[in-house]
Structure 1
């Protein structure tokens, strides 16, 4: 009796084990729950990381127009100025001496003109009384006209000298911010010497690209800035101008970036510029899981089995999308590791 009872227990145990195995096998082949995606190759913007400088479209120079001493300078670096504003004054003592000399010449010429007009009046009266001949009257008229002309020339020279003294005012050629002051008050300056550099025009991001990329960058290409301390609106812009010259193996490109200011002209920032498009595998971030510093995706095999595959990823311009560099290929079916939202 005990023998048959033992055999029945063993049979029941084997039967139970066989049923458990059969129940697990179909479960491993069932379709995994979650969103699925078939990897395809998509067009992705190809970018190049370059160095950029925040500057302005133009920079103007406030220059001295006469030689002399810079006796006054009313601006410093960072000050804002308006167009035509006087920011300094140059004085040349020789101009004052010349002006006083011309004043004396004007006085002498006017005195001579007064005497010539008086002579003409007397000669005219004598001519009217038939005492002087017509030739004597014509001579007096010519002398009076010459004296008047000499007086006018002397006044013109005095005016030119006085206006030369007015040329000593240093005026801002454009509205903007003083970027650099070249000289200090009390310095001797010469005509054409730069007194101050003033920013002019809107702020731009100026990039220097290798000449090999000159033909790949077009106006309208997108530019991304990598500086975290810039405002959110100053992180992306577009190329507005590609300069038609290559200097030192570099081509200059200007990009308009909303939110840039002239507070820090000359600041260097890292930027990525779009130079074309390429084919790449991209997936939403919810299809990628990170464990112990490695990225994984869940791949669904043709027999509906799911396995974790390590992949190498790279960020894209879209913060919700990643580029897969290796580990899977186009046509693989992935399942989301996280739910959307």
Structure 2
């Protein structure tokens, strides 16, 4: 009986051992199958050019500016008297000198007015002489007691009136001569004809525009800035501009790039847009024309801050952020941005919220999902 019980226990133990072994084998096979079914994690290789590091730099703060080239000296030649326009021969592009006769208004009518005013002045002069003689005679008679002093005072009043009439007639002569002089239209400045607004033989009215003259020797850009940006603009600040179309004959960058200086800042903002006009004088005007479009950057100061390339700061989320590599994983780190500036031709932006020297994914890589495994192929120098 005891022998049967021992064999029974041994059999039970053997069954348990076999069942445990089978379960271990099945668990191992299940783990291997799961490991084979799960895909291997992708590790992105980042080259040295794909990583930038924040560093403290001195940023040259700039503002984008754009505007139209305008001549500093320009003038509209207008008719100062009405009449028929004659002798207008200059056309667009012709060079003119200051004081050069541009055209004339038919002077016959104004010559007649001068003669008429002169005749009236001569008549008033004769009347004043008669009044003077009358006064002198009455004064002698009063001294001898032949007439009353009242008659003398009357003759004195007549003399004063005659003199006033004579002076008024002389003023009329001057006005008539001024109108006759105004029949000759001259250019007030040296320059070139930009517009011809009338034709010979046309009857023009007072203040009618005849030609526009511009002097291309000095050009400036009328740029529009927002009210916030205009606060940092001061007279004397320098800008680098590129002018459209001026480099067609000469493809070099210097042909259509020119430096400029802020010479004036409008003290009033424009109604509606609330923008402020800033005027920049070009250092050279050779090869440029009025009306061309210019754009560039205006240097308004310097700032020292921890900066990154502008392209490394991503804005596809509600708040700007950078992609930082921490322990081989991508972490989206929110940052606060500051002023921008140019360093070595590259646009940098000041950032807060990322450590100086931390590896940040460059903007050329694109967006990486947070938690993505990455590997730096080579150490990157700060």
For this structure pair, what is the TM-score category when the shorter chain's length is used for normalisation? 0.5 to 0.7
Q: Does 1:326 align with 2:355?
A: no
Alignment equivalent of 1:268, drawn from 273, 288, 293: 293
| Distance apart, 1:165 and its partner CA | 2.0
Gapped regions of structure 2 (runs ≥ 5): 1-48, 312-341, 349-361, 367-374
Contact 2:63 2:229 in 1 (8 A): no
Contact 1:77 1:181 in 2 (8 A): yes
| Counterpart residue number, 1:101 | 116
Q: Does 1:198 align with 2:222?
A: no
Distance 1:245 1:52, change over 3 A: same
Alignment equivalent of 1:77, drawn from 61, 75, 92: 92
| Distance apart, 1:54 and its partner CA | 2.7
| Aligned mates of 2:131, 2:209 — CA distance in 1 | 50
Distance 1:245 1:172, change over 3 A: farther
| Aligned mates of 2:156, 2:290 — CA distance in 1 | 68
| Counterpart residue number, 1:65 | 80
| Aligned mates of 2:106, 2:157 — CA distance in 1 | 42
| Counterpart residue number, 2:254 | 232
Summarize deviations over 1:46-65 as a string: whole Å, max 9, x none: 88887643322454322222
| Distance apart, 1:203 and its partner CA | 0.7
| Counterpart residue number, 1:258 | 283
| Distance apart, 1:79 and its partner CA | 4.0
SS at match of 2:87: strand
Provide TM-score, normalisation by structure 2.
0.52
SS at match of 1:326: coil
SS at match of 1:73: coil
Distance 1:131 1:79, change over 3 A: same
| Aligned mates of 1:46, 1:207 — CA distance in 2 | 18
Distance 1:256 1:317, change over 3 A: farther
SS at match of 2:92: coil
| Aligned mates of 1:330, 1:172 — CA distance in 2 | 72
Work out the number of aligned pairs and report it.
263
| Distance apart, 1:129 and its partner CA | 5.3
| Aligned mates of 1:330, 1:197 — CA distance in 2 | 66
| Distance apart, 1:327 and its partner CA | 4.4
Superposition map of 1:1-341 within 5 A? 40-41=53-54, 52-57=67-72, 59-73=74-88, 75-83=90-98, 85-91=100-106, 93-124=108-139, 126-127=141-142, 130-199=145-214, 202-207=218-223, 211=226, 214=229, 218-219=233-234, 220=237, 222-225=239-242, 228=247, 229=250, 232=254, 235-238=257-260, 240=262, 241=264, 243=266, 244-246=268-270, 252-261=277-286, 264-269=289-294, 271-273=295-297, 279-280=308-309, 325-327=363-365, 333=379
Contact 2:194 2:213 in 1 (8 A): yes
Contact 1:237 1:255 in 2 (8 A): no
| Aligned mates of 1:118, 1:251 — CA distance in 2 | 70
Contact 1:113 1:148 in 2 (8 A): yes
Provide TM-score, normalisation by structure 1.
0.57
Contact 1:41 1:330 in 2 (8 A): no
| Aligned mates of 2:238, 2:293 — CA distance in 1 | 20
| Aligned mates of 1:61, 1:281 — CA distance in 2 | 48
Contact 2:78 2:210 in 1 (8 A): yes
Summarize deviations over 1:223-277 as a string: whole Å, max 9, x none: 34165337727514246155553577576544343332375222235x3335899
